[in-house]
Structure 1
Amino acid sequence: MNWRKTTQPLMPATTAEKQPPAAGTYDMYPFARLGAGKVHNGYASLAKWMTGRNVILIDGYIGNDWEYIAGSLQRELEAAGVAVTVVCTSTLMKPAGDIEALVAPFLGEKGTVWGRKASITLADLFDTEKLRNIQPAAEGITLVIGVGAALTGLDAPVVYIDLPKNELQYRMRARTANNLGKQAWDDNQETYKRFYFVDWVLLNAHKQQILSRIDVIADGQWKDQLAWATHAAISEGLQYLSQNAFRVRPWFEAGAWGGDWMKEKIPGLNKEEVNYAWSFEMIVPENGLVFESDGHLLEIAFDWLMMKHAKDVLGQDEQRFGIDFPIRFDFLDTFDGGNLSIQCHPRVQYIREQFGETITQDETYYMLDCKPGAKVYLGFQENIDPAAFRQALEDSVATNTAIDIEQYVRVFNAHKHDFFLIPNGTVHSSGKDNLVLEISATPYIFTFKMYDWVRLDLNGKPRPINIDHAFNNLDFSRKGAKVEEELISKQQVIDKGEGWQLVHAPTHAEHFYDVHRMEFAKNITVDTNGKCHVLMLVEGESVVVETANGFRQRYSYAETFAVPAAAGSYKIINEGGGTAKVVKAFVK
């Protein structure tokens, strides 16, 4: 049975399997070095670490193959002459029907895309008596293994096995990973919805709760091997990143409107994939950080960094956002593809009341690349009649016929480095032949589609249309001349010196983040001013970032990276000829 369903390769387990990228070449697998002797590989080495202990709690993220992991460790331990007793946490959970009833209030209606962030805890899914009554074997090692192992009352070392979110979803599609405590299989949309609104919420809170008890952190993305490091070694690496700079591991998805820009520009992407619609450049609820030691790679979820160093990363904004990283960067690729749906995003009060989010999906489109004639749809025509617009949309759904969307929605030519502003409630879409750098608040699944060009998704089905949600949020005052005035950024030089200038690309008043573009021939020095900066080289071959702490790292064209507030100041050095241009987003 295939245990993952995707065209994308597994991340290499070692640097020997990956070629170091040349300057100017996008790196799909960026990593930070931990130093020698920090990352260990294989079940045998972890079994050796376990030897001599009476009980080990092996907790971790959903999607791990706990039976396979337990069997692998048991074989290694028994080969070393150690008797092993295995207790699987799946046997300690409440009945599946009870769990279904517990999570149902957070899942919305079946067939809909959204639920509401869960307010229960992981412990609520378990049978308290069963957790309390585990009796370790008198001899050898007892392994309590699976999600929630640390919920037992046992005083024992904790091994935490993480799993990247993209790999979890590939396993979900292969039906080798299901929701917590769920025995029946649902369709992928329902399974993902429960991951997002229930399972991930519970597991992230659980991880934070047991953080100080964890002794070993492991990466479960490879089937036949396990990379692991001590919590102390990982903590050292996270501390270093929180003072300097970091890049998360990106991942990529096809879609109904996807294009070919990323396929052509990013080495390592599977060229046989039908298209690439999205890249998760830095959508941190789904990205990880990769560490290296002695050629071994190990990935952990980004939230480890925030749980330990939110203040260092966000500086003065930590009080506002806590451990939630507020800004995301991603690509929308429509080169030789199609138009995105005509859509909008929820207003702040709506997303809080309906979905339990604290901030909403305020977006911008920074045009990284465009073909001649590329368009962006933004705002309404001056003569918009909301009732007539709604009727046209509903008729289109009912009869499966196209409409002339430009009767209702304005359309603009798009050029490289244009900057379009999409505060919540704004009707918008990217047309074909754009590579959009979407700079946004972190929420990323709350898109209310109104019109999808009468097309089918990659599975041959219509994508959900959300006219009711959209009309509860649309701002019909964003129309006519007001669109140019408020929604197309008026970029201007606000500072300059010899060989450099700083361009302000103002965002809308409702955006909590702002954007600068630094343009320089040789180098530029930047102060964080107590803010985290999220950056991308949007023109040029490659740059080197140096911090005051001695950190030095190359970043190539179209790569996203961040400099935490605690770095204080940093220098960006242009490695190529001509002018380098680096976009910088930060909380206002």
Structure 2
Amino acid sequence: MYDIAQAESNNPASADKEVDRKPTLPQNISNRSDIAAYDIFPFHKLGSGKIHSGYDGLAAWMSGYDAVVIDGFNGVFWAVVQHELDNAFERIGKRVNWVLAADFMRAAGEIDRMVQPFLGSGDSVWGTKSTLQIQDFFDMDAFKAVRPAEGYDLNIVVGTGATLAGWEAPVVYIDLPKNVLQYRMRAGKATNFGAARAEESGHMYKRAYFVDWVVLNNYKQQLLSKIAVMADTQWDQSVNWLLYPDLADGLTKLSRSVFRVRPWFEPGAWGGHWMQERIEGLDKSEVNYAWSFEMIVPENGIVFESDGNLLEVSFDCLMFHDHKAVLGKHADVFKTEFPIRFDFLDTWDGGNLSIQCHPSKNYIRETFGENFTQDETYYILDAKEDAGVYLGFTEDIKPEQFREKLEYSLAHNEEIDVLNYVQLHPAKKHDFFLIPNGTVHSAAANNLVLEISATPYIFTFKVYDWVRLDLSGMPRPINIDHAFKNLDFSRKGNKVQDELISKPQVINEGADWQLVHLPTHAEHFYDVHRLEFDSTIVVETNGLCHILMLVEGTSLTITTADGTASRFHYAETFAVPAAALSYTLHNEGGQRAKVVKAFVKPDFSQL
């Protein structure tokens, strides 16, 4: 689905302008009017007095200690944090000794050599998940030898990895949303962890995905029990913060009720204009929007609110906090990896996605180090009359001939007639196409696709991209060799219609509701239902986590068994953890509501 080389669409010459027009999470929403449709900044209430704003308050809290550790994710502007706190401490007359974690990191060249085995070849789009630990990036003997200095009111060790100094001191952790990190990287304002300088953005994303995020997510999980304060500095020169027990209470509440992550949006070579025209708050001057990360949990965050102040933490904080409550009977299978993702592919008045496939289970494990593969489905949320989906091969497909044509096209920049090899099926609203790994596919123009898929999202092997350039005028990577090691050429002819286009079945109904099963393929570990109702419908979780979206109607309210009530609008994604036990959906529109529900198959027990 997601193109790891999407950074190729961002011209470094206009990087600052590109960052500036991204929707920025408000630091405070006290003056925001009620949202009557899709909300790009959803949040969860903590109650009054929980989230504090400003460096003065944080400095005052820190002044109650002799020593403090300020740790956090890569991409935080540590110099800004130190400068703003220094000013705050000066205002209250505190003398501070600063120790910089970065001073104890290994040399950038040494780190480059250390991470290189996980990055693949220089021209490869993918690497392999790192087995490194954060300690490997530091001179641990020197770091552990540094101690608080005498003669100061306060000693602070600051920077990513600061806790490794081993000080017996409270930890302030500064989280950073991964979309903000990527914007900073594209603008040349942030680098990879331990790197000396910013590089081409596609390379930085690859190193972040396969090395930085793996190492730092593991480190964050280890730190949770030590954190005293969680902070958010995505506004560059300001901070919102809260005491960790208050965050933990919020995470516990979400793990037993309902939540929505903060979505984010990206342009692309084939992108369209459905979201741009219909979702308030998106930049209307952007060239297009190809993706919405509705719930791609390695990159989304969760936003909390108190007294109008907002604070965002990465979604994995919820999984680290209590993945058993979230995933229920499948917690031991997936552990802290959330298994299902929702995202939009917008080709409305746009172009076709590349002709592509995804890796087999064994291939993704052995080649890229992932635990499970990228099995996908396309749910058509909206479509024009000429919309379609490329899916499966023609009956008379000849693999060798197909490959020859693809390689000739790549070498000579020449178009091919895709319909000689790949089937094109008409697509209309609420159709459901099944794309188990190894299946050739593409979303054609004039769709808004809700992609319901397994969580892995960057392993797309493109074989043909319509001889076009990306948004920066460069060819996008083509991966014919990877693809032909994974393409299933038995998915062709009438078998595609029979096995890869879901046939809805009503499996339960009442006076004004029905439960429709949208069967997935045997390869998919997840299944899909559609809840259709006029007034209300009650749903049991039965030990499963449900991921849902209102796909027809205007809005609904959901009330979970613990009494938590929330409102969601058309096209918004939300999730009900297994521990919620049950929930009631109330239709607020004048027409029948339709809600898609995805969940791991109850009998699934092994990756």
TM-score by length of 1: 0.99
**Is the CA contact 1:6–1:170 (under 8 Å) kept in the aligned structure 2?**
no
Quote the Cα distance in structure 1 between the aligned partners of 2:208 and 2:38: 30
CA positional deviation for 1:20: 2.2
Greater displacement, 47-56 / 189-198:
47-56
Greater displacement, 127-136 / 497-506:
127-136
Quote the Cα distance in structure 2 between the aligned partners of 1:460 and 1:142: 50
Quote the Cα distance in structure 2 between the aligned partners of 1:529 and 1:253: 36
The structure 2 residue matched to 1:140, chosen from 153, 178, 187, is 153
Quote the Cα distance in structure 2 between the aligned partners of 1:228 and 1:155: 21
The structure 1 residue matched to 2:590, chosen from 574, 577, 588, is 577
1:182 aligns with 2:191: no
1:10 aligns with 2:24: yes
Aligned in 2, Cα 1:464/1:6: closer, same or farther, shift over 3 Å?
A: farther
**Is the CA contact 1:117–1:355 (under 8 Å) kept in the aligned structure 2?**
yes
Aligned in 2, Cα 1:4/1:175: closer, same or farther, shift over 3 Å?
A: farther
Quote the Cα distance in structure 2 between the aligned partners of 1:519 and 1:265: 24
CA positional deviation for 1:19: 2.9
1:249 aligns with 2:274: no
Name the structure 2 match of 1:306: 319
Name the structure 2 match of 1:160: 173
CA positional deviation for 1:566: 0.4
1:282 aligns with 2:282: no
CA positional deviation for 1:346: 0.3
Deviations 1:216-259 (A, max 9, x none): 00012011210000100000001111110000000000000000
Name the structure 2 match of 1:101: 113
CA positional deviation for 1:212: 0.5
Question: Where in structure 2 are the equivalents of 1:413-562 lying within 5 Å?
Answer: 413-562=426-575
Name the structure 1 match of 2:604: none
CA positional deviation for 1:3: 9.6
Give the letter aligned to residue 281 of structure 2. Answer: G
CA positional deviation for 1:567: 0.5
Name the structure 1 match of 2:348: 335
Quote the Cα distance in structure 2 between the aligned partners of 1:316 and 1:287: 24
Give the letter aligned to residue 348 of structure 2. Answer: F
The structure 2 residue matched to 1:130, chosen from 118, 122, 142, is 142
Q: Residue 81 of structure 1 aligns to a residue in which SS? A: coil
**Is the CA contact 2:190–2:198 (under 8 Å) kept in the aligned structure 1?**
no
Quote the Cα distance in structure 1 between the aligned partners of 2:23 and 2:403: 43
Quote the Cα distance in structure 1 between the aligned partners of 2:176 and 2:45: 20
**Is the CA contact 2:514–2:531 (under 8 Å) kept in the aligned structure 1?**
yes
Quote the Cα distance in structure 1 between the aligned partners of 2:33 and 2:465: 40
**Is the CA contact 1:4–1:171 (under 8 Å) kept in the aligned structure 2?**
no
Give the letter aligned to residue 69 of structure 2. Answer: L
CA positional deviation for 1:111: 2.5
**What is the RMSD of the two structures over their aligned residues, measured on CA atoms?**
1.0
Give the letter aligned to residue 60 of structure 1. Answer: G
Unpaired segments ≥5 residues, structure 1: none
Greater displacement, 433-442 / 50-59:
50-59
**Structure 1 residue ranges, 4+ long, deviating more than 2 angstroms after superposition:** 1-7, 16-20
Name the structure 1 match of 2:415: 402
Aligned in 2, Cα 1:260/1:28: closer, same or farther, shift over 3 Å?
A: same
CA positional deviation for 1:9: 2.6
Deviations 1:548-580 (A, max 9, x none): 111000000000000000000000000001100
**Is the CA contact 1:12–1:18 (under 8 Å) kept in the aligned structure 2?**
no
Quote the Cα distance in structure 2 between the aligned partners of 1:317 and 1:433: 37
Quote the Cα distance in structure 2 between the aligned partners of 1:255 and 1:17: 33
**Is the CA contact 2:257–2:576 (under 8 Å) kept in the aligned structure 1?**
yes
The structure 2 residue matched to 1:90, chosen from 96, 99, 102, is 102
**Is the CA contact 1:4–1:176 (under 8 Å) kept in the aligned structure 2?**
no
**Is the CA contact 2:30–2:307 (under 8 Å) kept in the aligned structure 1?**
no
Quote the Cα distance in structure 2 between the aligned partners of 1:562 and 1:335: 27
Deviations 1:309-359 (A, max 9, x none): 100000000010000000000000000000000000000000000000000
Quote the Cα distance in structure 2 between the aligned partners of 1:449 and 1:471: 10
What number of residue pairs does the alignment pair up? 586
Aligned in 2, Cα 1:3/1:61: closer, same or farther, shift over 3 Å?
A: farther
Q: Residue 30 of structure 2 aligns to a residue in which SS? A: helix
Name the structure 2 match of 1:77: 89
The structure 1 residue matched to 2:78, chosen from 63, 66, 72, is 66
Give the letter aligned to residue 10 of structure 1. Answer: T
Name the structure 2 match of 1:27: 39
Quote the Cα distance in structure 2 between the aligned partners of 1:215 and 1:55: 13
Name the structure 1 match of 2:56: 44
Give the letter aligned to residue 589 of structure 2. Answer: G
Q: Residue 286 of structure 1 aligns to a residue in which SS? A: coil
**Is the CA contact 2:185–2:198 (under 8 Å) kept in the aligned structure 1?**
no
Unpaired segments ≥5 residues, structure 2: 1-14, 602-607
Q: Residue 490 of structure 1 aligns to a residue in which SS? A: coil
Q: Residue 19 of structure 2 aligns to a residue in which SS? A: coil
Quote the Cα distance in structure 1 between the aligned partners of 2:61 and 2:134: 28
Quote the Cα distance in structure 2 between the aligned partners of 1:109 and 1:186: 16
Quote the Cα distance in structure 2 between the aligned partners of 1:50 and 1:396: 62
Quote the Cα distance in structure 1 between the aligned partners of 2:31 and 2:329: 41
Quote the Cα distance in structure 1 between the aligned partners of 2:573 and 2:64: 44
Give the letter aligned to residue 296 of structure 1. Answer: N
**Is the CA contact 2:147–2:167 (under 8 Å) kept in the aligned structure 1?**
no
Question: Where in structure 2 are the equivalents of 1:334-373 lying within 5 Å?
Answer: 334-373=347-386
Q: Residue 285 of structure 1 aligns to a residue in which SS? A: coil
Quote the Cα distance in structure 2 between the aligned partners of 1:140 and 1:6: 39
TM-score by length of 2: 0.96
Give the letter aligned to residue 291 of structure 1. Answer: F
Quote the Cα distance in structure 2 between the aligned partners of 1:198 and 1:293: 34
CA positional deviation for 1:55: 1.2
Quote the Cα distance in structure 1 between the aligned partners of 2:259 and 2:566: 9
**Is the CA contact 1:249–1:289 (under 8 Å) kept in the aligned structure 2?**
yes
Quote the Cα distance in structure 1 between the aligned partners of 2:187 and 2:155: 31
1:412 aligns with 2:422: no
Name the structure 1 match of 2:304: 291
CA positional deviation for 1:17: 5.1
1:390 aligns with 2:375: no
Q: Residue 298 of structure 2 aligns to a residue in which SS? A: helix
Name the structure 2 match of 1:263: 276
Question: Where in structure 2 are the equivalents of 1:159-238 lying within 5 Å?
Answer: 159-238=172-251
Quote the Cα distance in structure 1 between the aligned partners of 2:547 and 2:162: 36
CA positional deviation for 1:184: 3.1
Give the letter aligned to residue 546 of structure 1. Answer: T
Quote the Cα distance in structure 2 between the aligned partners of 1:203 and 1:19: 37
Give the letter aligned to residue 143 of structure 2. Answer: L
CA positional deviation for 1:4: 7.3
